[in-house]
Structure 1
Amino acid sequence: MKRKNIYGYIFAAPWIIGFFIFTAYPIFYSLYLSFNKVKITADSGIITQFVKFDNYKYAFFTDVSFLNALVTFFIQLILSVPIIVVFALIISLLLNSKIKFKGIFRTIFFLPVVITSGPVINELVSQGATKIPGMADLVDINSLTKSLPLIISQPLNYIFSNIISILWFSGIQILIFLSGLQKMDVNAYEAAKIDGATMWEIFWKITLPSIKPLIVVNIIYTVILLSNFELNPISSIIKANMFKLETGFGYAAALAWLYLIFILIILGVYALFALRGTSD
């Protein structure tokens, strides 16, 4: 038994060593840098000067661009996550039904996951590929939202301007929902139909309660996906401050940790509501 344990530790050792060297150490080192003013020189390498919480104070009380980007991204996240999850659920329900060429449709919806990266998305956005073709000719969104309050008009403009790019992020979520739907008990559906239940009642009483854990998984995955995406505004600000003389790596590290705390709070709120929903 002890020999088997030793073998297990030996096989796990490369991952454990790699985790501490390439993940744990950089994380804690970035936390250390966030409390310092960092200079990178050719002769002495990295020079740090301990400044306590000055980087964090600068982010909250001086750097207006960071707070504006944080609020903008928060609004985008609140709007995008429900749209992505609901769209993924609808498409997975359609793909789980008895239709022809299901494999082709699955490939089509999963293809953006394979081909979309930061530079690709940036090029598509610059060419206007993320907007619905002909929408500007049919509906003038700016005229419709001009009379609305700013808190309502801005989200509506964001949704209509980025609806295609928002839906591009739904590939993995569709597969997760599909895996759950394909494991559903067929007998439960047949019994409900015999009792006279409609398709709408079957969805709300059987399907939706059964896939609630998958909804939680998809919400958490979507938040992390959008937060780590290369082109979100906060990532751009963090990268820009890394090479500024007046801020540097120390301030960029502080912004990264503030961003992490912000994402953890959002995940906690989503998880709290989702878990309460699954326990009802």
Structure 2
Amino acid sequence: MNGKTSRRKMILQFRWKEYGIGYLFMLPWIIGFIAFVAFPVGWSLWNSFNQVFITSEGFKYTWVGLDNFRRMLIENNTYPIILLTYLQEVLLIIPLILIFSFFVSLLLNEKFPGRGWMRALFFLPVIFATGQVIMELFEQGAGGLPFMDQYNLDVIIRQYFSENTSNMLLGILSKAVIILWYSGVQILIFIAGFQTIPKTVYEAVKVDGASPWESFWKITFPGMLPFIGLNAIYTIVDLFTFPYNPVLEIVRNNMFSPTTGYGYASAMAWLYFVIILLLLGITLGLTYRATRGRSEGR
């Protein structure tokens, strides 16, 4: 028995010598994660199952179980409609941003005079377009396309599409210019991805007589699949935390409403969070399958 105890102590001492310094360096992050992430998330989950009242003595909790979720989905018709409409917009916007940033990065990866300035030009909006700046630009109507009013696209779209579809399309067009500003990080990631493909591979297929179109689909696109998945994940998180977000706005409004409060707003936020996690999981799964299939096909 004493031999086993001493052996365990030796193992613990060895592990502490090997990993102790690393744990000490991680300690500030662990404390910050528990204080500023884990505790607020856990408290929000607890609130979603309670009716929360703010009194002179502090917060008062009344356990209601799943009643907040039932009221949110059945009694409240506004939130599910806004959530589904914004989800449809995001699912259309994500491919547009990925396609735009992919082909812009493909051009910026080529050698031409002033390439560094052009790369900086596409990334500058990411630096200047902070949350408050974006909201101010939207309020001034600077996010839409100028030709929408010129050619009465609003009337044409509503004439040929249903109300929900037309609202979704008009919502995307009204944010088109500023949404393209959010492609700067994706462009940089794609450019970094292009650098990982060896030039010798292109030279080899060129000697074999492959055209640029064939080399794109056989080499460039398969090699960029992990970066496409990474950019898809980044874009999902970026758009779902977008400052001009109607879902987050309705959550904030219900948080400070005397008839709903923190518990009801927390239930809304958790439904929104679960949807984001599902999208991220689907994206990770598709990226993993695509990259795995590519590696097995070699």
TM over 0.5, shorter chain? yes
TM-score relative to the length of structure 2: 0.87
| 1:34 to 1:143, Cα distance in 2 relative to 1, 3 A | closer
Work out whether 1:105 is the aligned partner of 2:112: no
- SS of equivalent to 1:244: coil
- SS of equivalent to 2:160: coil
2:210 to 194, 197, 200: 197
8 Å CA contact 1:37–1:49 kept in 2: the answer is yes
Match of 2:22 in 1: 8
- Structure 1 position 87, deviation (Å): 0.7
- For structure 2, the residue ranges without an aligned partner over 5 or more in a row are 1-13, 294-298
8 Å CA contact 1:79–1:155 kept in 2: the answer is no
Match of 1:239 in 2: 252
8 Å CA contact 1:33–1:249 kept in 2: the answer is yes
2:176 to 135, 140, 163: 163
2:235 counterpart letter in structure 1: T
CA RMSD of aligned residues (A): 1.8
- For structure 1, the residue ranges without an aligned partner over 5 or more in a row are none
- The more displaced of 144-153 and 4-13 is 144-153
- The more displaced of 44-53 and 1-10 is 1-10
- SS of equivalent to 2:59: strand
Equivalent positions of 1:1-280 (< 5 A) are 1=14, 2-42=16-56, 44-137=57-150, 139-150=151-162, 152-280=165-293
| 1:157 to 1:189, Cα distance in 2 relative to 1, 3 A | same
2:124 counterpart letter in structure 1: L
Q: Identity percentage over the alignment? A: 41
Q: For residues 47 and 139 of structure 2, what CA distance do their matches in structure 1 show?
A: 36
1:98 counterpart letter in structure 2: K
1:164-217 Cα shifts (integer Å, max 9, x gaps): 122111111111101110221101111222222222211111100001000011
1:130 counterpart letter in structure 2: G
- Structure 1 position 155, deviation (Å): 4.1
Q: For residues 227 and 188 of structure 1, what CA distance do their matches in structure 2 show?
A: 38
- The more displaced of 214-223 and 191-200 is 191-200
1:107 counterpart letter in structure 2: A
1:55-100 Cα shifts (integer Å, max 9, x gaps): 1111111111110111111111111100011111011101100111
- Structure 1 position 131, deviation (Å): 2.1
1:15 counterpart letter in structure 2: W
- The more displaced of 146-155 and 232-241 is 146-155
Q: For residues 250 and 155 of structure 2, what CA distance do their matches in structure 1 show?
A: 31
8 Å CA contact 2:86–2:168 kept in 1: the answer is no
- SS of equivalent to 2:145: coil
1:36-71 Cα shifts (integer Å, max 9, x gaps): 1111123x1111111111111111111111101111
- SS of equivalent to 1:37: strand
Q: For residues 231 and 154 of structure 1, what CA distance do their matches in structure 2 show?
A: 16
Q: For residues 121 and 49 of structure 2, what CA distance do their matches in structure 1 show?
A: 47
TM-score relative to the length of structure 1: 0.93
Q: For residues 160 and 31 of structure 1, what CA distance do their matches in structure 2 show?
A: 35
Q: For residues 199 and 143 of structure 1, what CA distance do their matches in structure 2 show?
A: 43
Q: For residues 242 and 156 of structure 1, what CA distance do their matches in structure 2 show?
A: 29
- SS of equivalent to 2:175: helix
Q: For residues 26 and 102 of structure 1, what CA distance do their matches in structure 2 show?
A: 45
- Structure 1 position 247, deviation (Å): 0.5
1:243 counterpart letter in structure 2: F
